[in-house]
Amino acid sequence: MLFTRVFQVVEEMLNFHGVSLYYGLHTPLEAVALTYIDFSLPRESVLLVNGHVGSGKTSLLLLASKLIKPTIGEVHLEPGIRSAVVFQLAEQQFFCETVREEVLYGPRNFRLPGLEDIYTETMKTVGLDPAEFSERSPFKLSGGEKRRVAIACALALSPDILVLDEPETSLDDLGLCDLLSLLREIRRNRTLIIATHWPEFYLDITTHMLVLDRGLQAFFGTFQDFLLDYSEKAIQTVTPKSPILERARETLQQTGQLPNSLEQVITDGRGATC
């Protein structure tokens, strides 16, 4: 009798191995940002990083992007993997006179070929007309348009990992809906790492969850496992109670899957749906 066992192969593109991070090491201002962070993230995942202000979210994003090195441990990326970061309120860091120059600043500095094609395709990806916005000032766009241009600047580098630091910050209801629609589109064939205080906004795209508590790893796992643990005291101390997450948890417990309505409707608590 012949037995065949089928294994699902999961490629892990990002690994944190016992990572700790100190600022001002061996100085009077020494501060611990992160302590023993340890997890592996598969390809094409969407990881939410959640925690109170000062919990270490931004530090973790910097490490994941290889912009800084850990004090202890190792952050490993697959060879050849590109990452790009969209910092909080990135549009406040614009400095070029036109949208076209802003989007192409990175590719030009990296001497990437085909700048015109990069600009055109990137703008189409974020839902902005390349010709209409080409000569417009990035400083005179709406809030939602500025956020899209900021994301376009990162996408122009063709990153395998896109890192976003609280991308929902300062957006109105319409801007939030535009952002969520864009993220649903650009997550294809790409890994997203999103730091946020509002995990319910990203309910329909999230695959994994990392919860930080004063620099410690309070939780890491799939988003479904997070929801099943959501009522536990340890999670509640760092993740504010949300009616949407609570309803999703209850449905998951009862049916074994997330409700379809919550994959399609995101409510921000002020009545906006998208």
DSSP code string of 242-266: -HHHHHHHHHHHHHSS--HHHHH--
Looking at residues 24-29, what average pLDDT do you find?
Answer: 92
Q: Between 143-155 and 99-109, two packed helices, what is the crossing angle to 10 degrees?
A: 20
Structure tokens at 211: 């919860």
C-alpha separations of 152 from 106, 125, 126 in Å: 11, 8, 6
Q: 242: pLDDT confidence band, cut at 50, 70 and 90?
A: confident
What domains are defined for the chain? 43-71+160-266 (3.40.50.300), 91-159 (no CATH)
Whole-number pLDDT of residue 201 = 87
pLDDT single digits (tens) 83-120: 999 988 777 889 999 999 999 999 999 999 999 999 99
| Beta carbons of 48 and 194 less than 8 angstroms apart | yes
Query: Dihedral sign, CA of 92, 200, 127, 175?
Result: negative
CA angle 180, 181, 183 (to 5 degrees): 65
Residue 244 dihedral angles phi and psi, to the nearest 5°: -70, -45
CA distance 194 to 252: 23
**pLDDT score of 273:** 56
Encoded tokens for 153: 């600047």
The pTM (predicted TM-score) of the whole model is: 0.87
239/203 Cα distance (integer angstroms): 14
Q: β-strand 161-165 against 83-86: which pairing, if any?
A: parallel
